[in-house]
Amino acid sequence: MLFNSLEFLLFLAVVFALYWRLRRKGQNTLVALASYVFYGCWDWRFLSLILLSTVVDFVAAKRMEQSTGGRRRAWLGVSLAVNLGLLGVFKYLDFGLASMAALLQALGFQVSLPVLGLILPVGISFYTFQTLSYSIDVYRGRLRATDDFIAFAAFVAFFPQLVAGPIERATHLLGQFHERRRFDPSLAADGCRQMLWGIFVKTVVADNCARLVDPAYAAVGEQTPAALLVATWLFAIQIYADFSGYSHVAIGCARLFGFDLMRNFAYPYFSTSPAEFWHRWHISLSTWFRDYVYIPLGGSRVGPLRHRVNVVITFVVSGLWHGAGFQFLVWGLYHGVLVAAQWWRARSAPTWPAGRGVIPELRTLVGMLVMFQVASVGWVFFRSADLADAVTVFARWIAPGEGTWSLASFRATVGGGGAIALGAATLMLAVEWLQRDRPHGLDVAQLRRPTRWMLYAAVGIVIFALGRREVVPFIYFQF
Amino acid sequence: MTSAPSPKLPDDDVRASNALALRAVAFAALFAVIVFGVDRLADWGARRGLQLLPHVPARELGRLRAAHGHTAFLGDSTVIYVPRRGHATAATEVGTLPLYRLLAERLDSEVPYLARPARAPHHLAAELDFLRESGTRPTAIVVAVNLRSLAPDRQLRPGVHDGALVAMLRSGLTLPVRGVSVLQYRFGADSPDEYAQRRFRLPDGSSAGVVEVDQPEGPPDSWSDEVVRRRFLLRYAAPWREPEQLLRLVDALTRIGAETDIPVVVYLTPLPLERYDRLLTDQDRAAIDTNLDALRAVLDVPGTVGLDLSRSLGPDDFVDAWHTPGEHMTHDARQQVTDRLVDALGRARELRRRP
């Protein structure tokens, strides 16, 4: 059940209609049931994994709270083992076996390790991290274990953010399930606007970019360097539009039910440095790794060299979280080195990126363009099917052959469907530039209602006219 | 964590959420009106050659209207196919003309590019109905009906099902139909996941998955004759999922025949039956004949001329790779078909001149 589907809109309408007629416990039960129905539409077989993760963490946290010392650690170990075990088996086992076989063969051993071909359950990387944060926070004493299993089940499986985040912390979201929610019309209306903006950037921007990116990256050896460059730029836009679009719908949808989810994107392409970029990109994951990997490693409370090593380790682990493949490892390493190299300039992201003016200062503009290129280089690893493909892309750029950088080849690449993709991307970036002090591009509560409604209608028409009709799943579903 | 006692049902919340829902419904109604208005505006522009909606479905209506005053050649890829460099099985095929262009040369008139890959009878029926109802008057209509287009794997394949086109042609609405397509309404087609899991039945009653039949393991050159035979049978001999599509086409042809004076030729496209005959059992041949007999219903419509070319070509007249049975013809074969069509068009015009 994709967010940009009639099926989901109907589902949402039914759940919304029932939800506000129930008391708090009934609402939690409804959310839990609806979330399981929502997930079951993807693949009902994997509901058992969510239930397992939920039960284990619920019980482990209760036991942790009631015990001390070694037993407390043991219960944390149970939670870590189950959640990381699920991830390990479903996400990394085949990769590990294949890598092991390749290594042994390189060392001269003739071995044949079985490849299990397990399907990666959608959303497993997200909900396991969410439940892990609960167990770890209870262990650390930052949070009391909950007695309310239904509230906890609803927290783990909360359908707006179940399959691709934002990865919520129990300290932020679980408490909201314990409290009475009040319907706030202005927040709910803004939630609808945010959902509309999310569907626009997903169906019009991301999916039209995918039309050009997918064929180019399916056969990188056959592309001209110009085509690969355009495809890489478009992928940079695509992945941002795709994932931020999902996050917008998730956050907006949660608002309809009185929940506040954390912001996941804060206009990352208006950043002027890698550190700022990572303060703005996939914020829920970045802060998760900061709190549960980087700080336990020592964070910045160690020597300068060790501090940089901690940064690199955190990014490498983050890279591997995205996918079982060496290309993701290199992607994480690349960003880790970039951030570590200029960590002293790190600062928290300002609310208003790149200054307040409509026209940016030249220095800021150059900084943003350079950062976009730096991020795009990383996306080559991220988008390539494997490391060999990524190397091929760079090789094509370094030794392109005669005439392949000409403007004609750019036009040949961009022509046709490229015009829609580039136009949509430009529109999205322009709107977000003007709205960059606000949480999303369609945050227009200050306008009069007729103007607002005409604006929504215009966005709807653009979605109807230019959105892609083919099913293009959200990129982060595969993680 | 202890939970707070449940408060009474907050009536304010119910009222406020109802108010938002009502506003959403009101906006949806307004939006529907606006979408309809924009759609009519785009349609008005399209009738005057101004393409306001830059996407394929909107162009579908425009391209059909473009047949006014010309020969409308409706059909599938066999009508528009011409080998691209690197895909041609013989060097002499490169640079040759597709069937619709050959027909245009022979008729010395315009035959616009109207056919689309994998067009099935229900698409053709919707296109004919649209031509008739929109007042578009081609000088003649040629309709290519391909047995392959009724094969169950083809009918449900998400990329070629195109139920949205049928809905658009029948309703005359482009933007609303496209809009619900963007919101993943599939008009009866499978999703890619559903399609991948479909199992189809071969004439002998055996069940075979699409992946198993259509994408066997190993390089195509290594596929056994049995694999090729099963692929062939799925295309031409498997029981149809939607035989009623033929009735829709017959109905559309009947209306064109009865309500207009446009000369119409309907033909069954040539099939590579002889090419694969050595792989087939008597039961296989009987299953193909059963399908062809049913398909011939479209050839007997009053006011139209029917032409059965299904067995008109030999084993060397097709260019598709051996392991992918297909109906794409060599240049010589396309010329043979053109000759037959020109002759049939003459008869169709003669038929229309009779009182």
Query: Which pLDDT belongs to residue B243?
Result: 85
Catalytic residues of A: 322
Per the CB < 8 Å rule, is A465 touching B20?
A: no
Q: Is the pLDDT of residue A438 over 60?
A: yes
Whole-prediction pTM:
0.84
- Report the share of chain A in percent with pLDDT over 70: 93
The arithmetic mean of pLDDT across residues A119-135, rounded, is 88
Per the CB < 8 Å rule, is B14 touching A21?
A: yes
Amino acid at A424: A
Distance from CA of B171 to the nearest CA of A (A): 17
Query: Which pLDDT belongs to residue A202?
Result: 94
Let me know: does A142 contact A136? Beta carbons within 8 Å: no
Distance from CA of A120 to the nearest CA of B (A): 15
The arithmetic mean of pLDDT across residues B240-254, rounded, is 90
Per the CB < 8 Å rule, is B16 touching A185?
A: yes
pLDDT in tens, A219-252: 888 888 888 888 999 999 999 999 999 999 999 9
Let me know: does B168 contact B206? Beta carbons within 8 Å: no
pLDDT in tens, B193-240: 777 777 777 777 776 555 545 566 777 777 888 888 888 998 999 888
Kindly state whether B269 is in contact with chain A, defined as any CB-CB distance less than 8 angstroms.
no
Tell me the CA end-to-end span of chain A in Å, nearest whole number: 17
Query: Which pLDDT belongs to residue B1?
Result: 44
Kindly state whether B3 is in contact with chain A, defined as any CB-CB distance less than 8 angstroms.
yes
Query: Which pLDDT belongs to residue B27?
Result: 92
Token pair 């559903």 is found at B194
Query: Which pLDDT belongs to residue B9?
Result: 55
- Identify the DSSP state of B318: B
Per the CB < 8 Å rule, is A464 touching B179?
A: yes
Distance from CA of B174 to the nearest CA of A (A): 9
pLDDT in tens, A68-105: 888 899 999 999 999 999 888 888 888 788 888 888 88
Set of chain B residues whose Cβ sits within 8 Å of the Cβ of A141: none
Kindly state whether A393 is in contact with chain B, defined as any CB-CB distance less than 8 angstroms.
no
- DSSP per-residue string spanning A300-343: TSS-HHHHHHHHHHHHHHHHHHH-SSHHHHHHHHHHHHHHHHTG
User: Given A6, A24, A184, which is nearest B185 (Cβ)?
Assistant: A6
Query: Which pLDDT belongs to residue A91?
Result: 82
Determine the Cα–Cα distance for residues A428 and A443; give it in Å rounded to an integer: 13
pLDDT in tens, A314-330: 999 999 988 888 899 99
Torsion on CA atoms A75, A77, A78, A83, rounded to nearest 10: 130
The band of B10, judged by pLDDT with boundaries at 50, 70 and 90, is: low
Determine the Cα–Cα distance for residues A458 and A416; give it in Å rounded to an integer: 23
pLDDT in tens, B90-145: 666 667 889 999 999 999 888 988 888 889 999 999 999 999 988 889 999 999 99
The arithmetic mean of pLDDT across residues A369-381, rounded, is 94
Kindly state whether B172 is in contact with chain A, defined as any CB-CB distance less than 8 angstroms.
no
Query: Which pLDDT belongs to residue A304?
Result: 84
pLDDT in tens, A425-435: 999 999 999 99
Determine the Cα–Cα distance for residues A85 and A98; give it in Å rounded to an integer: 18
Per the CB < 8 Å rule, is B175 touching A457?
A: no
Output phi, psi for A424, to 5 deg. Answer: -65, -40
pLDDT in tens, A196-220: 999 999 999 999 999 889 888 888 8
Set of chain A residues whose Cβ sits within 8 Å of the Cβ of B19: 185
Distance from CA of B33 to the nearest CA of A (A): 10
Per the CB < 8 Å rule, is A7 touching B6?
A: no
pLDDT in tens, A53-76: 999 999 999 999 888 888 899 999
Determine the Cα–Cα distance for residues A96 and A102; give it in Å rounded to an integer: 10
Instruction: Judge if ipTM > 0.95.
Output: no
Q: Is the pLDDT of residue B2 over 50?
A: no
Arithmetic mean of pLDDT over chain A: 88
Q: Is the pLDDT of residue B171 over 50?
A: yes
pLDDT in tens, B17-59: 888 999 999 999 999 999 999 988 888 877 777 777 766 566 6
Shortest CA distance from B25: residue in chain A = A13
The band of A402, judged by pLDDT with boundaries at 50, 70 and 90, is: low
Set of chain B residues whose Cβ sits within 8 Å of the Cβ of A9: 183
The arithmetic mean of pLDDT across residues B337-349, rounded, is 95
Set of chain A residues whose Cβ sits within 8 Å of the Cβ of B35: 460-461, 464
Residue A176's SS3 state is helix
Token pair 């506003």 is found at B23
pLDDT in tens, A179-192: 989 899 999 999 99
The arithmetic mean of pLDDT across residues B282-289, rounded, is 92
Query: Which pLDDT belongs to residue A247?
Result: 95
Helices (H), chain B: 11-47, 56-65, 77-80, 99-107, 121-133, 152-156, 158-161, 163-171, 175-182, 192-197, 210-214, 225-236, 244-259, 282-295, 331-353
Query: Which pLDDT belongs to residue B6?
Result: 47
